[in-house]
Amino acid sequence: MSPIFHLLQVIFLQPLLNLLFLIYGLIPGHDFGVSVIILTLIIRFALWPLTSKQLRSQKKMQSLQPEIAKLKQKANGDKALESQMLMELYKEKEISPFSACLPVLLQFPFLIALYFVFRAATQNTAELSQLLYLPIQHLSAVQSIIQDPASFHPTLFGVISMSNPSIPLAILAGVTQFLQVQMITPKQTDKSDPTAAATRMMNYVFPLITIFIAWKLPAALPLYWLTANLVSILQQKVVMGEEVEEMEEVTVVKKIAEPRKQKTKSSAKRRGGK
């Protein structure tokens, strides 16, 4: 085993695998699919602040699109001038164009680790004794798996095998990803815009790629994607709701402040007239 893979195993794979089997050993019924759902919820809520920051950055960038379009017209094809004007706009609005990318990059190690976690949990159960911590191994439900790996049949509600591909879960993962992307994608009024056309196309392509990949993987991974997408949809609604409330509060403050300003101006005029 290479030193890098060993480091990734110690930092990501083993903790996630042990957390998965800790959940499995503690929940009533010891349902492996339910354990995957709970693990996904724990990960997604742990990453909630980062994802919220990503969503807010995306919305700020979207709100700048009309101004960016005007800058491109002013630049008239001069890429150096266009880049300079864009940087000045981002600085003025206090927006980093790369802030939306960082949370996504931080999530990649979890995705890669989870692939190996689910593979080890569903297909390489004979190696669990080498990966699980001793306290986890002593849980009765986990102990029975280690003693007789062939008797372990991971399922969701005793119906869907988590070690074999599941077409329904793959399709649901793709559909929920499509819904998630549609929620955050701004409505384009200019249908002739090539960038908007490319965005619309990718909104359909990525969910199809998800279905294609999940179609051939153990069902535990599309179940993770499905659960993660549902949490993301919820989070997008919450973040958008918070922004609407903030805008309403600002509007109310402005409405309260405007009459006061007018009274101050009128009283100043009367004093000046006197």
Name the residue range of residue 64's domain.
Answer: 3-259
Do the domain assignments include residue 28?
Answer: yes
Do the domain assignments include residue 265?
Answer: no
Do the domain assignments include residue 239?
Answer: yes
> What pLDDT, in 10s, does the model give residues 31-59?
999 999 999 999 888 888 877 777 777 77
- pTM of the predicted protein model: 0.74
If one counts the domains in the chain, the total is 1
Do the domain assignments include residue 67?
Answer: yes
The predicted pLDDT at position 252 comes to 47
The whole-chain average pLDDT of the chain stands at 78
Do the domain assignments include residue 135?
Answer: yes
Q: What are phi and psi of 155, to 5 degrees?
A: -140, 170
> What pLDDT, in 10s, does the model give residues 103-149?
556 666 777 788 888 888 888 787 888 889 999 999 999 999 998 88
**Where are the strands (E) in the chain, listed by range?**
155-156, 160-161
**Which amino acid is residue 86, in one-letter code?**
L
The partner residues of 155 in beta bridges, in order of sequence, read 161
**Where are the strands (E) in 83-223, listed by range?**
155-156, 160-161
**Which amino acid is residue 233, in one-letter code?**
I
Do the domain assignments include residue 142?
Answer: yes
The partner residues of 156 in beta bridges, in order of sequence, read 160
Do the domain assignments include residue 274?
Answer: no
Do the domain assignments include residue 272?
Answer: no
Q: Report the first-to-last Cα separation within the chain, whole angstroms.
A: 90
